[in-house]
């Protein structure tokens, strides 16, 4: 009993982690499966076939590439636009500023089904052919919100004296932006871009409404689910997961090293804290 | 660091005014800061010091007035075009750049050649050579402060502005940095405008001190001059402590103006009397007063100002003894006595007589009331500290 009480937090933590990781583990394990029937639901026989032949099933790889393309293009465009909007909102006073501030939140607050359906209605009304372009336009729309919110927070949190110091040190407005503002906001922009990409890659509902005959990776999986999802999907999902993991771990590592350097200035600083005179 | 040919010029502020809405932060400021001097702008928090510096730096547009260096009008120049650099209150070092790049920033923006040599020499001057590749967050407060100075000074500005540069440091480091800054200023010969609310800091470092109050300069001059001859009640109280006795002008005797106060007649040198009206507040610094046992009253030199009282408090502070003496009309006066006397000191309750030379007396215009410029916390703090020492209960 005493033992339980002392280790309760640890046990709960492990339980939560297990709960979180079981689905991912199942997907990984099943990527090495050779299912007996058409459904890849229980482990029948170990096989590397899906890994050796990633594009073996028609449509898997092309939909994967399509999703990556859409993700990259919409993230880049949304990050550029969103960053500029964030600067405008923080740095300039103009009419409609507070309205814009509010409207920027709308795409995040609107249910995806509603947004997907209304965009579809819009495109149909404009007689705009559905396809990659419409999906990209839709994705840009919701990624922008996240970029604006993140970059805005970063900008507002920045000490205004840093830019003043730069101006004081002979930096003209462009140099201030290039050498001080931008480098300081960059981590926020990168974070927003990563988040935007994963949202885009992941999106099913909005894409589904506006894709026409285009097949993105989530749409492919949804279609395949009717007939039995090919093992290759598990393999690709595992790859995506591992890539994400590497990115997160790298970020953590970099942060950790930075923090360590910040937390322990004493042994370095003590030696010259006082002027030698 | 300064090449001998470079001409250093005076900084002139003319009718400089800054309003934020209805609030006037800096009010019609006119002053000349001599080239190459260490100039301290001293004032309580919120009196407009930072705003003044920001206008000189070009970070704030004056509502009115102009700023000149020599005969060049720089009022319209933008911050990055002015030959002026700032050491910010919180240093504002660029956190994403290392020390070397922080110091090199100004040179790089101006496209100066030989960045490396200059940065290395500058880091040498502030004794931070080995820290060149550290990030600001890895340095101690004192080191960051020196980086901030180096980063500004390397540009050889005509004027270096320092906004409470030592405010964030602890007392010991602050004293050290005061000496350090002064040394650097003498080394480079640049005009330093040093903003502070610490009167001791202003007096020990500066050639010229300007006391600022509510957006205006109250008095300006050599530290000793303002201390010995304050011209306003605010200055008399803000810079050190003063005994101020309200009185009325009654006549003249030779070079002295005679003031009647609570039945006493006090003499003030006419050239140290700054009140033109009948009402005159007579002032004298606590250390100028000699305290005597009432029975020794005969020893008072002819012509000295004198008054009788009763000791209400004695605090031994080591270097000196601080007495509080109740005057007959109920005012409490402060007297500092050097601890050079062998034998008995006055004790609480003793009847005493205070006297001082008229040449140490000053006459002020009473308009502001007797307490302008008094820092209640500091006065209280000093009294408590002295008590603790005297009781032996402290430490
Ligand atoms: N941007 C501003 N807007 C409104 N009021 C300000 C602004 N900057 C300073 N003030 C006011 O002006 C006064 C002087 O401020 P400041 O120059 O910073 O004082 P100090 O540096 O002497 O403490 C203060 O009362 C402050 O509240
Ligand atoms: Mg200030």
Q: Where are the domains of chain B?
A: 11-225, 240-391
Same domain, A52 and A70: no
Tell me how far the alpha carbon of residue B17 lies from the centroid of ligand 1, in angstroms.
13
Tell me what pLDDT residue B3 has: 47
CB contact under 8 Å between B176 and A273, yes or no, is no
pLDDT at A223 over 80: yes
Among the partner residues A170, A179, A261, nearest to B110 by beta-carbon distance: A170
H-run or E-run covering B13? strand B11-20
Is the shortest distance between the CB of B215 and ligand 1 below 6 Å? Answer: no
Domain membership of residue A3 (yes or no) is: no
Higher pLDDT, A86 or A229: A86
pLDDT at B389 over 60: no
Tell me how far the alpha carbon of residue B1 lies from the centroid of ligand 1, in angstroms.
34
Q: Among A159, A162, A168, A255, pick the best mutation site for testing chain B contact (most B Cβ within 10 A).
A: A168
What is the per-residue pLDDT across A16-48, written as a single tens digit (0 to 9) for each? 999 998 988 888 888 888 887 777 777 788 888
Tell me what pLDDT residue A14 has: 93
Domain membership of residue A148 (yes or no) is: yes
Same domain, A81 and A23: no
B155 → chain A, closest CA residue: A169
Interface residue B90 vs chain A (CB under 8 A)? yes
CATH code at A189? 1.10.3720.10
Same domain, A192 and A168: yes
CB contact under 8 Å between A168 and B90, yes or no, is no
Domain membership of residue A177 (yes or no) is: yes
CB contact under 8 Å between A265 and B139, yes or no, is yes
How far apart CA A48 and CA A31 sit, in angstroms, is 8
B11-225 and B240-391 in the same fold: no
How far apart CA B282 and CA B246 sit, in angstroms, is 6
Interface residue B135 vs chain A (CB under 8 A)? yes
Same domain, A161 and A189: yes
B87 → chain A, closest CA residue: A165
How far apart CA B33 and CA B165 sit, in angstroms, is 19
CA distance A212 to chain B (A): 47
Domain membership of residue A262 (yes or no) is: no
Ligand nearest to the CA of B22: 1
Higher pLDDT, B6 or B70: B70
Among the partner residues A162, A171, A269, nearest to B138 by beta-carbon distance: A269
CA distance B19 to chain A (A): 20
Mean pLDDT in residue range B78-85: 92
Structure tokens, B324: 């509080």
Q: Which atom of ligand 1 is nearest to the CA of B44?
A: 22
Burial environment of residue A132 by CB neighbours within 10 A (0 to 12, 13 to 18, 19 or more):
middle
How far apart CA B134 and CA A268 sit, in angstroms, is 9
Tell me the pLDDT band of A267, cut-offs 50, 70 and 90.
Answer: very low
What is the per-residue pLDDT across A109-133, written as a single tens digit (0 to 9) for each? 889 899 999 999 999 999 999 989 9
Tell me what pLDDT residue B375 has: 62
Domain that holds residue A30: 18-57+230-245
For atom 4 of ligand 1, which residue has the closest CA? B20
B84 → chain A, closest CA residue: A168
Mean pLDDT in residue range B282-293: 93
Same domain, A156 and A28: no
CATH topology of domain B11-225: Rossmann fold (3.40.50)
Domain membership of residue A73 (yes or no) is: yes
A60-91 and A231-263 helices, crossing angle to 10°: 30
Same domain, A195 and A82: yes
Among the partner residues B59, B110, B130, nearest to A168 by beta-carbon distance: B59
pLDDT above 70: percentage of residues in chain A: 93
Least confident of A92-106, A109-123, B218-232, B321-335: A92-106
Burial environment of residue B59 by CB neighbours within 10 A (0 to 12, 13 to 18, 19 or more):
buried
Structure tokens, B89: 């209150």
CB contact under 8 Å between A272 and B130, yes or no, is yes
Among the partner residues B59, B92, B143, nearest to A162 by beta-carbon distance: B92
Same domain, A119 and A197: yes
Tell me the pLDDT band of B377, cut-offs 50, 70 and 90.
Answer: low
**Residues β-bridged to residue B363:** B273, B282
Q: What are phi and psi of A167, to 5 degrees?
A: -60, -40
How many domains does chain A fold into? 2
For atom 6 of ligand 1, which residue has the closest CA? B20
Same domain, A117 and A105: yes
Ligand nearest to the CA of B213: 1
Q: What is the CATH number of domain B240-391?
A: 2.40.50.140
**Residues β-bridged to residue B310:** B326, B351
Please list the alpha-helical segments (H only) found in A127-181. 132-156, 160-168, 173-176
Interface residue B106 vs chain A (CB under 8 A)? yes
ipTM topping 0.85? no
A178 → chain B, closest CA residue: B109
Is the shortest distance between the CB of B43 and ligand 1 below 6 Å? Answer: yes
How far apart CA A256 and CA A251 sit, in angstroms, is 8
């Amino acid at each position: 009993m005493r033992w339980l009480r002392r280790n309760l937090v640890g046990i709960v933590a492990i339980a939560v982690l297990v709960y979180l990781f079981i689905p991912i583990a199942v997907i990984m394990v099943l990527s090495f499966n050779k299912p007996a029937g058409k459904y890849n639901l229980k482990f029948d026989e170990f096989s590397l076939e899906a890994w050796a032949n990633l594009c073996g099933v028609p449509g898997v790889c092309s939909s994967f590439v399509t999703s990556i393309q859409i993700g990259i293009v919409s993230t880049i465009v949304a990050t550029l636009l969103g960053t500029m909007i964030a600067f405008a909102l923080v740095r300039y006073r103009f009419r409609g500023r507070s309205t814009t501030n509010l409207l920027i939140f709308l795409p995040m607050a609107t249910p995806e089904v509603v947004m997907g359906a209304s965009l579809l209605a819009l495109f149909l009304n404009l007689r705009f052919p559905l396809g990659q372009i419409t999906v990209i336009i839709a994705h840009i729309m919701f990624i922008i919100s996240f970029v604006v919110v993140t970059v805005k927070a970063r900008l507002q949190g920045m000490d205004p004296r840093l830019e003043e110091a730069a101006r004081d040190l002979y930096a003209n407005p462009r140099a201030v932006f290039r050498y001080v503002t931008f480098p300081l906001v960059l981590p926020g922009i990168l974070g927003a871009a990563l988040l935007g990409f994963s949202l885009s890659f992941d999106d099913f509902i909005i894409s589904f409404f506006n894709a026409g005959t285009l097949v993105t990776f989530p749409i492919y999986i949804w279609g395949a689910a009717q007939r039995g999802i090919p093992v290759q999907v598990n393999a690709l999902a595992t790859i995506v997961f591992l890539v994400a993991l590497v990115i997160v771990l790298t970020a953590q590592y970099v942060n950790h090293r930075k923090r360590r350097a910040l937390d322990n200035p004493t042994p370095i600083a003590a030696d010259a804290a006082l002027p030698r005179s | 660091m300064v090449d001998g040919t470079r001409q250093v010029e005076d900084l002139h502020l003319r009718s400089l005014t800054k309003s934020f809405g209805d609030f006037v932060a800096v009010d019609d400021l006119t002053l000349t800061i001599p080239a190459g001097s260490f100039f301290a702008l001293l004032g309580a928090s919120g009196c407009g010091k930072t705003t003044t510096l920001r206008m000189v730096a070009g970070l704030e547009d004056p509502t009115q007035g102009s700023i000149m260096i020599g005969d060049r009008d720089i009022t319209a120049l933008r911050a990055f075009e002015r030959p002026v650099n700032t050491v910010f209150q919180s240093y504002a070092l660029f956190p994403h750049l290392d020390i070397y790049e922080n110091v090199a920033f100004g040179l790089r923006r101006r496209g100066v050649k030989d960045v490396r040599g200059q940065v290395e020499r500058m880091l040498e001057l502030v004794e931070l050579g080995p820290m060149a590749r550290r990030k600001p967050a890895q340095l101690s407060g004192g080191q960051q402060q020196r980086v901030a100075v180096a980063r500004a000074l390397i540009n050889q500005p005509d004027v270096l502005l320092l906004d409470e540069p030592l405010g964030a440091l602890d007392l010991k480091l602050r004293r050290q940095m005061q000496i350090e800054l002064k040394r650097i200023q003498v080394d480079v010969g640049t005009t330093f405008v040093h903003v502070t609310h610490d009167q001791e800091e202003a007096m020990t470092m500066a050639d010229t001190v300007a006391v600022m109050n509510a957006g205006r300069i109250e008095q300006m001059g050599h530290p000793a001059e303002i201390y010995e001859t304050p011209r306003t009640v605010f200055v008399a109280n803000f810079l050190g402590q003063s005994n101020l006795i309200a009185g009325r002008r009654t006549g003249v005797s030779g070079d002295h103006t005679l003031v009647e106060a609570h039945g006493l007649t006090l003499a003030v040198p006419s050239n140290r009397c700054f009140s033109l009206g009948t009402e005159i507040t007579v002032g004298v610094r606590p250390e100028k007063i000699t305290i005597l046992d009432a029975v020794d009253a005969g020893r008072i030199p002819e012509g000295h100002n004198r008054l009788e009282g009763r000791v209400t408090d004695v605090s031994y502070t080591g270097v000196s003894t601080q007495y509080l003496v109740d005057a007959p009309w109920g005012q409490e006066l402060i007297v500092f006595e050097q601890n050079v006397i062998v034998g008995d000191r006055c004790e609480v309750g003793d009847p005493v007589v205070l006297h001082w030379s008229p040449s140490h007396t000053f006459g002020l215009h009473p308009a502001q009331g007797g307490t302008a410029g008094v820092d209640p916390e500091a006065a209280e703090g000093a009294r408590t500290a002295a008590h603790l020492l005297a009781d032996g209960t402290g430490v």
